[in-house]
A and B are shown apart, each in its own frame.
Chain A
Amino acid sequence: MADKIATREAYGMALAEFGDKYDIVVLDADLSKSTKTETYKKKFPNKFINMGIAEGNMMSTAAGIATCGKVVFASSFAMFAAGRAFEQIRNSIGYPGLNVKIGATHAGLSVGEDGASHQCIEDISIMRTIPGMVVISPADAVETRCAVEAAIKHKGPVYLRLGRLSVPVLYDAATYQFELGKGIQISDGTDATIIANGLMVHEAVAAKQLLDKEGISVRVIDIHTIKPIDKDIIIKAAKETGAIVTAEEHNVIGGLGSAVAEVLVENCPVPMKRVGVEDKFGKSGKPEALLREYGLTAENIAGKVKEIIKMK
């Protein structure tokens, strides 16, 4: 496997791989080259349906296919899946609890040059508020592959949040275990815990390395499933390390930070800070430059950890 691979690439490969093992139908709205459902299309042309640029229709059509007992993947950019087609997802898929998996790529600022119109920073928030919707934001290719299989096996709607940008492969495919709704403790520490998802898991790991040099010991947790969220791992981290910093490529309102805060405030309130997009729209630029400008960096996470430790 290449050193760096985008989660959307891993998604396309996983669909093609699992197409042999499971009966799945894949829909895309004219973005198969970008969402990488093209990889599936090449292998299973008869079970790939191009919907044209009509995301709302795609979601309701996916629902209709699912009523016939099929597992359906519907893909577009996060902005047009979760955003434009929100109400179709809510009423045609969520309310009847149908077996549709929404493969939403190009989530977050790391879309880059396309700019704010295409940089969805609200999707986790709006998807997790739909009753029964499972929301997953994997960190790397290995986790994405396992998330796709878990989504296929799960009965009911799933929102899979995927990225455009190539990211390092963090996990070892031979040993990695994915369990829906269970966070992964990547490393242990005692002074604070960083809880991250998606590409921010990589920044969280880098932040730990920065803090190690200063003698600060942090635990790092990857919460790949935002809903249902792993309360136990969060409460345990709060009790054992006494402070939490969340890191996400999403608006700080409604996403991972909010979900973690909900768990903490009801179970084990401890000082907490959120790293994410500070309620602003994105803009055009290189992905790395955008992540820097919006503070989605290891340095910013490390700084927040140092602030939060003082509040303990």
Chain B
Amino acid sequence: MSNEKINQLAITATKIRKHALDAVYHAASGHPGGSLSIADILSVLYFDVMNVDANNPHDENRDRFVLSKGHCSPGLYGALAEKGYFPKEDVKNFRKIDSYLQGHPDMKGVPGVDMSTGSLGQGISAANGMALTAKLYEKDFRVYAVLGDGELQEGQVWEAAMFAAHYKLDNLIAFVDFNGLQIDGDIAKVMSPLPIDEKFKAFGWNVIVIDGHNYQQIMDAIASAKETKGKPSLIMAKTVKGKGVSFMENEAGWHGSAPNKEQYEQAISELDALLSKLEVE
């Protein structure tokens, strides 16, 4: 993979992070931590991997994306805005009374959202339904999903995990955003879902463990998952909650709170500095 391509994915990921912060800051609410941790995965999916067209968001043969951890809508909306599904400036109206950008992904109102999510555990089941439909009707689209690591505490995730393996949904690729933190703190202390990889293996999945901020590893993992036949793939992506903003990194407190003006400006200046550096390269 060329350095130029990776550099471009990094630029896009940084822009997604900026959109996510814009959204949460202007709404004075929302979920920055997990949005920042999945930005690199979103960049690779929307700008390198998925067969989607912002001008034809309902194409029946398109690849699907389900944000099972729906509270990270600021990250998803950032990716969709960058991709051209809606105007970038609309992100600043996130969660406002007159905006279509609902607090959690709303497939009826937001172009590019393939499934309404927000209630944890349900998105992965819906992703299964899409992947199953492709199998039943012999379509060749793929379904991508992102789960939170805390979300794995929902029993429905494991019902879905059983289902995907039972019906051999090798057209499903699910990520776990393994940032290790949930609202009340360390996932291992709140209610440990560990070991995540071994659990999915035991449920019959192909499991790949990567650094979720390494573009090459994300791309390689997806390529390897695509080649795996007869079972769904789980990409356990080790990530940093709040990635890219120094004072948000690895702080559970940034799960669901908005920065104040000073914090917002600092966060944006850090990302802008990174962007300038990337754009020079």
A interface, over-half SS: helix
A125 to B52, CA, bound (A): 41
Contacting chain A: which of B110-118, B180-188, B218-226, B238-246?
A: B110-118
Flag if A54 contacts B126 (CB, 8 Å).
Answer: no
| A56 and B156 in contact, given A67-B107, A87-B119, A96-B108 (Cβ under 8 angstroms) | yes
Q: Determine whether the beta carbon of A46 is less than 8 Å from that of B107.
A: no
Query: How many Å from the CB of B80 to the closest CB on chain A?
Result: 16
Query: Is B119 in contact with A64, judged by CB distance below 8 angstroms?
Result: no
Residues of A within 8 A of B122 (CB): 56, 60, 63, 88, 91-92
B121 — which chain A residues lie within 8 A by C-beta? 56, 60
> Are the C-beta atoms of A54 and B163 separated by less than 8 Å?
yes
The reply to whether A65 and B116 contact each other, CB–CB distance below 8 Å, is: no
Which residue of chain A has its CB nearest to the CB of B156? A56
B-chain residues with CB within 8 Å of residue A49 when the two chains form the complex: 132, 167
Whether B116 and A60, one on each chain, are in contact in the complex, defined by CB atoms closer than 8 angstroms, is no
Say yes or no for B129: interface residue by CB 8 A criterion: yes
Minimum Cβ distance to chain A for residue B240 (Å)? 29
Please give, as numbers and ranges, the residues of chain A lying within 8 Å of B166 by CB-CB distance: 52
State A95–B106 Cα separation when bound (angstroms): 9
Question: How many angstroms from the CA of A56 to the CA of B132 in the assembled complex?
Answer: 17
**Residue B280 lies at the interface, judged by CB distance under 8 Å to chain A:** no
Main secondary structure of the interface of B (DSSP, over half): helix
- Asked whether A63 and B60 contact (CB < 8 A) given A92-B116, A96-B115, the answer is no
Q: What's the Cα separation between A70 and B133 when bound, in Å? A: 9
Q: How far is the CA of A95 from the CA of B108 in the complex (A)?
A: 9
Contact in complex: B130, A57 (CB < 8 Å):
no
Decide yes or no whether A68 CB sits under 8 A from chain B. Answer: yes
Q: Does A273 contact B (CB under 8 A)?
A: no
Pick the contact of B156 from A57, A66, A67, A97 — CB < 8 Å?
A57
**Quick one: CB contact mask for A83-103 with B, threshold 8 Å, 1 for yes?**
000011001100111000000
List the 8 closest A-B pairs by CB distance, nearest first.
A64-B129, A60-B125, A64-B126, A57-B159, A54-B159, A61-B129, A65-B129, A68-B133
Chain A positions within 8 Å of B, measured between CB atoms, are 25, 46-47, 49, 51-52, 54, 56-57, 59-70, 87-88, 91-92, 95-97
